[in-house]
Structure 1
Amino acid sequence: MTHLIAIYFSYVYNENNNHLNMQKVMMMADKGLFLKIDPNFPLPINVQIKEQIKWLIGIGIVKPGEYLPPTNQLAEHLQLNRNTINWVYTQLRDEGIVLMQKGRGTQVAEDAKVEELKAKRMPMLTFIEKTIQEASEQGFDLEEVILSSFAFIQLSNNHLEKNNVQILFIECREHDYAFYRQEIEQLTGANVRTVFVEDLHAAHDVKEAIEQTDFIVTTLNHDEEVRELLAHCDKKILTIGATAEMPLMIDIAKMEPGSKVGFVCLGNKGGQWMSQRVQDAGISQIVSMPRGTSNHEKLLETLKEADRIYASPVVYDKVKELAPDKTMLYPLKLEKSSEALLKDLTNPKR
């Protein structure tokens, strides 16, 4: 049953792999199945988990109507933050693969989306197994094959033309909302309007913006909050997530134990999110100092005390000017599944 894990992460089974002892394993005891993550693999951990679950469902090992492990249980077994598992389940829900019901858990859906997934993954299984075998026989490094394939696909994709789709993007003022908005615009070609969560709470007049939009997009940080505030709305709400690029994690992992690292965004919550992504990657030897630029005095204290500063794109120039010798960019990127969701909004037949 565990052969499907080898399909996507087969290189981690190499007994000579130096990263093997860093992997964490969760067993679905009732099925004898394992989910495996590797913080050194060049895909974000939450994407690793999500894609393995889709394989389990796609080839019929986890069946429609069955429940996935509770988020706290899966997070505990994988030694991850619960928000990471919530993100995975939320993305699966937005893709129509699972149903999330308070008090009952996360259940594999019995609908056309799951049948479509199975119809794609079953023939894909044979193809990928054959590809991995051929790559191994020719001496190709599987990780390099995966990365180079991604790059080739990106080179082959045509840019989307601007269209008349209207998207309402909802985020708070403390996160790098400019990054998300730019990504949404580039991937969808749609007209994007930003509304802040704080304005929804303050009951500002956003009724017109909601009525004129085709889709609402928010981030994992505010998924439940936005859905609750817009429970009366009949618009489709999608949740997207971002992560840091792998070279950044490698650089931070190489820092001396006890190093003080500042993570700076628009607000403290943004800085905390940046810091949490580092912890989720299994990096624990540093002292994290999340900070927002809204409190200038506290920011200056952090810049003085920290050994290194990572600033989000939206505040990088400002922080770099204040601490030019310490400041580095915290490069963000959308999760692959988030990219796919956004592309499907304006190009459903892709």
Structure 2
Amino acid sequence: MEEKLLLQADAELTYSINTQLKEQLKWLIGMSRMVPGDMLPAAGDLADQLGINRNTVSLVYTQLKDEGIVSIQKGKGTQVLNGPRVEELIRKRKPMYELWERMVEEASENHLELRELAVAGMAFVQLFGNQASIKPTLLFIECKEHDHIFYRKEIARLSGATVQSFFLEQLPDSMAEFEKLLSQADAVVTTLNHSDQVHKLTGTRKTVLTIGATIDFSLLLEIAKLSSGSKVGFVCLGQKGGQWMAQRVKEAGVQHIEYSALGTNNPQALERFADGADKIYASSAVYDEVKSLAPDKTVHFPLILEKSSENLLKDFLKI
């Protein structure tokens, strides 16, 4: 490779020169700054450029060869390979790069010295790495007709927990599976729709966190502006989910439109309704599907977790 690599070797860092060099080369390959087929500089040339011993460079090249990242051929030099180890390196380093970009930006905002942060990071992994990677487990119990995908994502995002799902439609045939999941969970989460049923199922064996969702006020205003008698559909994964959506609108005082609750689990009924509908409001889980059926009539009906539910999930890790 003819282009001079912007590598650095700093004897004052607390990790070895060969580790510095190897990791910088892996970054260049992982970010496709060096691609399969590219030649690494000759060991002597790179050693002179960095002011280090040639044997150090040779050792790094050998380590990269042992990792399956480069090949070393006498008389030809050291070449980046086109193989699974390089593909894996690229797959891992790109999200790492995005993470480090954010960390560098935040470090700058907080006036933190980057090298100190990097060294402290290694010590952090040694001390707390295993502890930090152990996540609590929540068992989310819901029915298949509501937008359980929205709830599950929000539960994971706000609680930081690993989330397992169990659907009430699986009972009573899957009672053994339910008991297994319950035994593995640190707590249970359900929605207001099924709170009583889930409390009966779990008894006092696990803490049950009950959460609820609402809809954006601007969406209510939009629906309220529809002409009187407009034929409006509310669509979720199942009819019960559509009924929940319609009920939230009714409770807000919107009474002048004709409501229909539908689910994508009954595509024939949905297709029949779409032909004569004025508007169709679809939850996030089914929006793309409904949009393809009625592109000019379909509007996104996003759910928003209630603030009290957000706080409940955020506080879960503190319990």
Fold shared by both chains (TM-score > 0.5): yes
Q: Alignment partner of 1:202: what SS?
A: coil
Deviations 1:237-282 (A, max 9, x none): 1110001111110100111111111000010000000000001111
Q: Does 1:294 align with 2:268?
A: no
Letter in 2 for 1:176: D
Letter in 1 for 2:201: L
TM-score, length of structure 2 as denominator length: 0.57
Letter in 2 for 1:316: Y
Counterpart position of 1:340: 311
Cα distance in 2 for partners of 1:301, 1:246 equals 30
Cα distance in 1 for partners of 2:229, 2:202 equals 44
Which of the numbers 258, 280, 283 marks the counterpart of 1:312?
Answer: 283
Letter in 2 for 1:223: S
Distance 1:327 1:193, change over 3 A: same
Letter in 1 for 2:202: L
Counterpart position of 1:270: 241
Letter in 2 for 1:224: D
Cα distance in 2 for partners of 1:329, 1:320 equals 9
Counterpart position of 1:207: 179
Cα distance in 1 for partners of 2:133, 2:252 equals 36
Distance 1:283 1:172, change over 3 A: same
Counterpart position of 1:321: 292
Which of the numbers 200, 203, 217 marks the counterpart of 1:228?
Answer: 200
Cα distance in 1 for partners of 2:172, 2:271 equals 31
Q: How does 1:60-99 map to 2 (within 5 A)?
A: none
Shift of 1:162: 6.7
Give the conservation status (yes or no) of the 8 Å contact 1:200–1:229.
no
Cα distance in 2 for partners of 1:261, 1:296 equals 17
Counterpart position of 2:139: 168
Q: Alignment partner of 2:175: what SS?
A: coil
Aligned positions, number: 187
Counterpart position of 2:230: 259
Cα distance in 1 for partners of 2:304, 2:172 equals 28
Cα distance in 2 for partners of 1:182, 1:163 equals 19
Letter in 1 for 2:161: A
Cα distance in 1 for partners of 2:234, 2:134 equals 37
Structure 2: where are the runs of 5+ without partners? 1-131
Distance 1:162 1:270, change over 3 A: farther
Cα distance in 2 for partners of 1:217, 1:289 equals 29
Letter in 2 for 1:212: Q
Give the conservation status (yes or no) of the 8 Å contact 1:162–1:189.
no
Shift of 1:204: 3.3
Letter in 2 for 1:220: L
Letter in 1 for 2:152: R
Shift of 1:188: 0.7
Q: Quote the sequence identity (%).
A: 51
Counterpart position of 1:115: none
Deviations 1:40-89 (A, max 9, x none): xxxxxxxxxxxxxxxxxxxxxxxxxxxxxxxxxxxxxxxxxxxxxxxxxx
The structure having more radius of gyration, on CA atoms, is 2
Counterpart position of 1:91: none
Distance 1:241 1:162, change over 3 A: farther
Structure 1: where are the runs of 5+ without partners? 1-160
Which of the numbers 203, 214, 220 marks the counterpart of 1:243?
Answer: 214
Q: Once superposed, which parts of structure 1, at least 4 consecutive aligned residues long, lie more than 6 Å away?
A: none
Shift of 1:340: 0.7
CA RMSD of aligned residues (A): 1.3
Q: How does 1:26-45 map to 2 (within 5 A)?
A: none
Counterpart position of 1:78: none
Deviations 1:272-308 (A, max 9, x none): 0000000111111111111011111101011112100
